[in-house]
Amino acid sequence: MTTIPGTLDNHIGGREVPARSGERIQKFDPYTGKLQSQIARSSAADVDDAVQAAKAAQPGWAAVPAVQRGQILHRIANIMEARADEFGAVVAAETGKSLKEGKGEVGAAVQCARFFAGEGQRLFGRTIPSGTAGKLNLTVRTPAGVAGLIIAANTPAANVAWKVFPALICGNGVVLKAAEDTPFTAGWVARAAAEAGLPAGVLNVVHGLGAEAGEPLVLHDAVDVVSFTGSTRVGRRLAELAGARLKKISLELGGKNPFVVMDDADLDKAVRWAVLSAFSNAGQRCAAGSRIILHAPIYDAFAQKFVAATRALRLGNGDGDDLGPVINARQLANMQAAVDRARERGARVLAGGARADAPELAAGFFMMPTILEGVAAEDELTHSELFGPITCLYRADGFEHALELANGTAYGLTACIHTRSFDRAFLFCERVRAGVAVINAGTHGSEAHMPFGGRGLSGNGTREPGTEALDIYSELKNIAVNIDPSGT
Ligand code: NAD
């Protein structure tokens, strides 16, 4: 089998089925810019089929003891691990990343599956003392019902895992609307899950465009909980739709993450982390370090080293390359236009600034790693996420100013500070407005057992994955037991 087949269908009720309309979306290879495949273009009717399949299968799945549900998740993890080469190649081919990165993502997905498999042995509730004699109070987790999941394309294996495994361990039926730019990873996981013994209908995958296949999932009466990873713009719309229906929704949205370097930092280490924060995965990370805030005394020294390290980065899809293409032509065009507008407003380009023009990269969606300076605190580029390899330098007079700049956007996802001062480091973590604060490393996401999420425009307060994700995919039930002492 080729890594990427010529067509891809939905996975509904254990079967691979085309969209009812027969229509397909063209999916392009980010590395070559050429047509890669044609995927099902689903609409409300297909979403309804998938939701009905999930709804029908859910009670049977919920009746399987959570420990045994965990054993099936372990089997899925084993399949992903045993076929990491094949699965990683799918991730690499549909994103344009290297095989090494694709396999790295598979490793993260395996970790996530194993963590939630283990949660099947816990799914802890609480016992709560009552003020009434003879009364025992406890909480238990019950499945939410049908979970509607919508994900972004940036790290497809991790994005699928982050939502599907917690939803499954809690005993839900699942409908996943895959990202239209990375549909194959989702299809691969659905087939692996079937092979691992997940009953048909428990996990369904629909493909298609957001407005056509995503919105009907949020609007569907039989979907009990929605979890969305994507842009703030779409998240806000889905929050409105869910809110009007009093539907539970988890939103994992964008970021404009501050990377602060103080005058007492280890500059070489800070530069290494800044490069990774800003440019790894071609900057397509919600946690990307897109605002680099430099204490004035080290501004020039840091900028010089950072520019040199950035210019040395290698673009391509080989294991020795540093970054690949962005996911589609539209994103590339948006980035170029945003950089051009910033330039017109007086920003200076210190590195990159344009599409890569090397002959072997020119047809792909490659943006050169780009550093800008002279972008004002109130500028569009300071406040809007580009989701690509573009970062801006800002000058801070001191700690308070750096913190003010760090907190100067409406986002609040991740943040980091580089300093040797214990006090600066901890004061920063205490006062920065972010869901994740890091000392002397990069702005990055969490591991599978840690809660990740943001404030403000970065989310609505939920945390995924980690144990906290169980709160999204389960409903707590408080059970009260009255024990009659005369009953003996
Ligand atoms: P996007 O919002 O355009 O699309 C994300 C998903 O939503 C896709 O599956 C898309 O088809 C779907 N969608 C689009 N419009 C929709 C609609 N009207 N109704 C329902 N579904 C719809 O985002 P993108 O550009 O593909 O992804 C990048 C964004 O995702 C960035 O903002 C990034 O920060 C964010 N992201 C956040 C996290 C996190 O954990 N916080 C992780 C990864 C990515």
Q: Residue 486: what pLDDT?
A: 87
Residue 287, ligand 1, Cβ within 6 A: no
Distance CA 422, CA 439 (A): 10
Residue 53, ligand 1, Cβ within 6 A: no
Residue 210, ligand 1, Cβ within 6 A: yes
Q: What is the set of active-site residues?
A: 252, 286
Structural element, H or E, at residue 67: helix 66-82
Distance CA 190, CA 201 (A): 10
Which pair of tokens denotes residue 259? Answer: 């990377």
Quote the DSSP letter at residue 36: E
Residue 237, ligand 1, Cβ within 6 A: yes
Q: For residue 80, how many C-alpha atoms fall within 13 Å in the half-sphere facing its CB? A: 32
Which amino acid makes up residue 1?
M
Torsion of CA 49, 54, 60, 66, to 10 degrees: 170
Quote the DSSP letter at residue 265: S
Q: Return the percentage of the chain with pLDDT > 90, whole number.
A: 98
Instruction: Over range 37-51, report the average pLDDT.
Output: 98
User: Is the per-residue pLDDT at 407 higher than 90?
Assistant: yes
User: Is the per-residue pLDDT at 451 higher than 80?
Assistant: yes
Closest ligand 1 atom number to CA of residue 255: 34
Instruction: Over range 177-195, report the average pLDDT.
Output: 98
User: Is the per-residue pLDDT at 84 higher than 80?
Assistant: yes
Q: Residue 2: what pLDDT?
A: 60
Average pLDDT, the chain: 97
Q: How far is the CA of 140 from the centre of ligand 1 (A)?
A: 32
Beta bridge partners of residue 7, listed in sequence order: 38
Distance CA 481, CA 254 (A): 45
Q: How far is the CA of 231 from the centre of ligand 1 (A)?
A: 4
Nearest to 165 by CA among 106, 198, 117: 117
Q: Residue 446: what pLDDT?
A: 84
pTM over 0.95: yes
Instruction: Over range 467-482, report the average pLDDT.
Output: 96
Which amino acid makes up residue 7?
T
Distance CA 42, CA 38 (A): 12
pLDDT per position as a tens digit, 237-260: 999 999 999 999 999 999 999 999
Distance CA 279, CA 288 (A): 8
Residue 17 CA, distance from chain mean position: 27
Start-to-end CA distance of the chain, whole Å, equals 68
Instruction: Over range 464-474, report the average pLDDT.
Output: 97
Residues 6+ away with beta carbon under 8 Å from 249: 218, 225, 226, 227, 228, 238, 239, 242, 243, 460
Asked whether 145 and 224 are in contact (CB, 8 A), the reply is yes
Instruction: Over range 307-332, report the average pLDDT.
Output: 97
